[in-house]
């Protein structure tokens, strides 16, 4: 499991809606971050923030409230600001994925900060001037504005991936069917197809079972699934025997 990244902090500046603070806390905890700094929040603590945190109340409880952005980043080395607006200042702009990698590298050397502005106005020019670089999230140019919590979720996800996290497929509870089991299935299936007069309609008349083999190989059947299929085939055979007995009796 990827550990908590104690040296990457999220700094929210003048957040208007307490529910957004709670949603940000949840997004952070999802992605292994727990250091939240709030600069002049309109309402915090707040029941709505706790409700939206949904299990991440520990992040809220240890959040720091400060009066200025400078106080929130005073001990940080790298400071990265997020913005959706184009800026004319001579400041480096990184794609969110590249920015996340840079944050992870610098966090290994000391605390780093990630700034998010007010929901309506974003970060001011003076606040942006405190950052070493800007971070941009690619989005539909016709509608690029993101909810605060959405933006935090996307950036923290990239940080989580940059720290080496990846999805690991759990080991299946039931092993794959053995080759011998699959051969018995194919023999059984061919037998039933013959009994129900389901024949290969291709020109050569030899492709049907090959295609069936490819189909089931792609499916990667486990032992239970092979047993189910053979049970179905057996049931078909039994029904045919019963129907045949009735037909013979009526004759």
**Are 56 and 10 within 8 A, CB to CB?**
no
pLDDT band at 111 (very low <50, low <70, confident <90, very high): very high
Question: Looking at 131, 162, 193, which one is the last position of a domain?
Answer: 162
191: containing domain: 179-250
226 to 73, 125, 165, 220: CA distances (angstroms): 60, 65, 35, 10
In a domain, residue 174? The reply is no
State pTM to two decimals: 0.73
The answer to whether residues 50 and 145 belong to one domain is yes
Instruction: Please count the CA atoms within 13 angstroms of the CA of 34 that sit on its side-chain side.
Output: 12
In a domain, residue 151? The reply is yes
Cis peptide before 45 (omega within 30 of 0): yes
The answer to whether residues 139 and 239 belong to one domain is no
CA distance 69 to 54: 27
Exposed / middle / buried, residue 82 (Cβ in 10 Å: 0-12, 13-18, 19+):
buried
Quote the tokens at residue 194.
């013959």
pLDDT band at 170 (very low <50, low <70, confident <90, very high): confident
Quote the tokens at residue 76.
């940080």
Average per-residue pLDDT for the chain: 90
The answer to whether residues 129 and 218 belong to one domain is no
**pLDDT score of 1:** 45
Number of domains into which the chain is organized: 2
Of 26-30, 92-96, 172-176, 247-251, which one has max mean pLDDT?
26-30
């Amino acid at each position: 499991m990827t550990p908590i990244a104690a040296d990457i902090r999220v700094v929210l500046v003048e957040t208007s809606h307490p529910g957004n603070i709670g949603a940000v806390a949840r997004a952070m905890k999802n992605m292994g971050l727990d250091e939240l700094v709030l600069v002049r929040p309109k309402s915090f603590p707040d029941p709505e923030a706790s409700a939206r945190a949904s299990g991440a109340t520990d992040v809220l409880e240890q959040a720091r409230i400060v009066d200025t952005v400078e106080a929130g980043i005073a001990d940080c080395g790298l400071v990265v600001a997020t913005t959706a607006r184009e800026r004319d200042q001579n400041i480096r702009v990184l794609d969110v994925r590249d920015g996340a990698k840079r944050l992870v590298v610098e966090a290994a050397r000391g605390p780093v900060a990630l700034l998010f502005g007010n929901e309506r106005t974003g970060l001011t020019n003076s606040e942006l001037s405190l950052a070493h670089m800007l971070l941009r999230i690619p989005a539909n140019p016709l509608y690029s504005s993101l909810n605060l919590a959405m933006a935090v979720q996307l950036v923290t996800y990239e940080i989580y991936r940059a720290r080496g996290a990846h999805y690991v497929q759990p080991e299946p509870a039931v092993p794959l069917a053995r080759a011998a089991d699959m051969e018995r299935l194919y023999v059984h299936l061919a037998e039933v197809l013959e009994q129900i007069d389901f024949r290969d309609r291709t020109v050569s008349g030899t492709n049907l079972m090959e295609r069936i083999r490819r189909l089931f190989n792609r499916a990667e059947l486990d032992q239970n699934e092979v047993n189910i299929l053979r049970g179905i085939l057996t049931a078909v055979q039994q029904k045919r025997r019963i129907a045949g007995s009735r037909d013979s009796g009526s004759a």
